[in-house]
Amino acid sequence: MNLVNGFSRREFLAHTSCFGAFYALARHIPLPALATELAGDSRVSQTSLVDKGFAAVRKVGNGLYATTSDPSKGLTTLCNGGFLVGRDAALLIEGFATPAGASFQMEALRTVSQVPVKAALDTHYHFDHSMGNSFYGSNNVPLWAHATAAKRIVDNYSPLQGADKETVLAPFEKRIKDAKSDTERAHAQSDLNALTGVFQIANSTVLGLPNHPLDPAKLPLSIDLGRLTAVLEPYPGHSGTDIVTRIPEQNVVYTGDLLFSGWYPVCFDEKATISGWRDTLKRFASFDKGTLFVPGHGQICGQEGIVSIREVFDDIAGQAEKMYKAGVPVEEAQHRYVVPDKFKNFPIYAWGFTIGPAITKLYSEWKAGKS
């Protein structure tokens, strides 16, 4: 059962009032319709298998399904995912933001197949991809992830469980109070909204940890599901724990958050690397021109989605480089980026999770002479 559709919208808002700020953020991130480029793609079903508002599941290939989230309609899943169904076994992708989200996807799988589930994969450790993991634990589904993902879930989210909300959010409230301009204040407010969501979700979740670590040195790994072969590959960029699922025979790739489709990329992670991420996107661009990408957030896309996020990175780097060369201090530069018209509809999850850290990281990469 899902936690959202049983309530009226008003009851839903009351029910999630503890999410207030985070809900306000999510409301501004609707999922756009499937692009016209994909209307003629024979792999992609034009209708959904299931649609619960907060997420829908669509066929994107032979035995391949994509789950796409619409945060404006609910917080159950938050990220995208999907599942692969072979003759002998299935693979589920993502743990989502809540166990109800993981359960929703499992139910969708069971409407098309009864094959045993070989595993579920967290594409990386972030909360919106892993806080539903306990669903897999309670259903005896082996949970796979990058070898360091379990530790990073514990290191990042268990401290929030013993913590007091006011204490965690205080430094962010202070930044709003101390902001030197309306722009800085708006940025600080967006960060507070996002952190409120991370806190509320992590604080109220029984953590589930991946029990099948994937050593990146031993990847790529081919998984035979029976007449369907998937390949797991690690790439640098978003979190230091990112694993992509490729189905080479059908040119379909589940990227996790290495692709934000029509969004500003979330770059805050301490292990995020802008130069590494841009190299990864260059690799994606070298995949077959008919490749279909299931991104971590945003709508399913073809190579045009890779072109677009590379342009976003180019634009951030271009503006940052001018400031760097003009000697603008990084503290100031991270707030000065101007969103061009071209990207004005791209959601910015929170300034301090996206553009701010992208600029900070670019500055340090340039200082270190890396890019």
Interface positions with Zn ion (CB under 5 A):
126, 257
- Which is closer to Zn ion, CB of 99 or CB of 296? 296
Which residues sit opposite 245 in a β-bridge?
232, 254
Edge to edge, the sheet with strand 64-69 lists 50-51, 55-61, 64-69, 81-85, 90-93, 117-121, 143-146, 212-214
Taking the complex as a whole, the smallest distance from the CB of residue 124 to Zn ion amounts, in Å, to 6
Residue 86 or 237 with smaller CB distance to Zn ion? 237
CB of 266 to Zn ion, least distance (A): 6
Smaller CB separation from Zn ion, 147 or 176: 147
| Nearest distance in Å: CB 15, Zn ion | 26
8 A C-beta contact, residue 272 and residue 239: yes
Of 129 and 187, the one with the shorter C-beta distance to Zn ion is 129
Instruction: Choose between 52 and 124: whose C-beta lies nearer to Zn ion.
Output: 124
In terms of CB distance, is 99 or 256 closer to Zn ion?
256
What minimum distance in Å lies between the beta carbon of 318 and Zn ion? Answer: 24
| CA 337 – CA 141 distance, rounded (Å) | 44
Smallest distance, Å, CB 199 to Zn ion?
A: 16
Least distance (Å) between residue 202 CB and Zn ion? 14
Six-digit token pair at 77? Answer: 């899943």
